[in-house]
Amino acid sequence: MSTVIVGLFEGVETAARGARALQGLSLPAGSVTTISAVPLPDGAVVTDPAPVRFPKIVIAGWFVGAAAGLALTLATYMLYPLVTGGKTIVSVPPTLIITYEVAMLGALLATLFAGGREMGLLRFPPKAIHDPRIHDGKIALCARVEGDEQARLAMDAMKDAGGTDVRPEEGEL
């Protein structure tokens, strides 16, 4: 677990002022983020440099599902052969339909997994930063710091920018 400095701000302007004060501390990229009850445009307070890996996981889930669907239909044809005129046949249209349906199931399951992962719901141990006052309209500005000196500087910068209830917490962003 790392130390995260959390400060609550009344509005976007004061949170942006706090983010600019934290940028002056030369924290590593990606160590400052916001938590808000309403979506904030990217760059309104901080810019998130993390790439979204969502589509890659969904496409991989689709291909895994397609392979599983194809294996399911081919295994079914081998276990229960359809004998017509003394020969076993493999009907392509039902194979394509079942392969497509299982591929979509794989994409759906991958979407659920990736969504939970991107939102931080699948962390173990599940110690994420949270404050119930965020739902009342406050904006939480969080900064991951290393060392007591950097934590003190970050707390002072947030308090000077108008942050209320600035505190250190153990957790992950």
Say if residue 65 is in the same domain as residue 103.
yes
Predicted pLDDT at 1: 57
Note whether 62 and 107 are same-domain residues: yes
Nearest to 140 by CA among 120, 167, 122: 167
Residue 141 in contact with residue 15, Cβ under 8 Å? yes
**pLDDT value, residue 48:** 67
Same domain assignment for residues 40 and 67: no
User: In the beta sheet, which residues pair with residue 33?
Assistant: 142
Helix or strand or coil: residue 102? Answer: helix
Residues 58 and 21 in one domain: no
Per-residue pLDDT of the chain (173 residues; tens, 9 = 90+): 578 888 899 888 888 888 888 888 877 777 888 888 888 777 777 776 666 677 889 999 999 999 999 999 999 999 998 888 888 788 889 999 999 999 999 999 999 998 888 777 777 666 667 778 888 888 888 888 888 888 888 888 888 888 888 888 887 76
CA distance 158 to 27: 14
User: Is the Cβ–Cβ distance between 126 and 89 less than 8 Å?
Assistant: no
pLDDT given for residue 82 in this prediction: 83
Q: Answer yes or no: do 44 and 64 share one domain.
A: no
Q: Which CATH number do you get for residue 157?
A: 3.30.70.120
Q: Which helix (H) or strand (E) holds 8?
A: strand 2-9
Residues 131 and 81 in one domain: no
Spatial separation of the C-alpha atoms in residues 93 and 53, rounded to whole Å: 33
Q: Do 96 and 77 reside in the same domain of the chain?
A: yes
Question: Among 118, 145, 160, which residue terminates a domain?
Answer: 118
pLDDT of residue 49: 64
CB 101 within 8 A of CB 69: yes
Place of tokens 């939102």: 119
Predicted pLDDT of residue 125: 64
CA 126, 130, 135, 141 torsion-angle sign: negative
Same domain, 65 and 96: yes
Q: Where are the alpha helices (DSSP H) in 54-147?
A: 54-79, 92-118
Are 45 and 58 in a shared domain? no
The whole domain housing 109 covers 54-118
What pLDDT shows up at residue 52? 67
- Indicate the pTM of the whole model: 0.60
Pair (59, 27) in one structural domain: no
Q: How many domains does the chain have?
A: 2
Same domain, 71 and 109: yes
Determine the pLDDT at residue 173.
66
Same domain, 91 and 68: yes
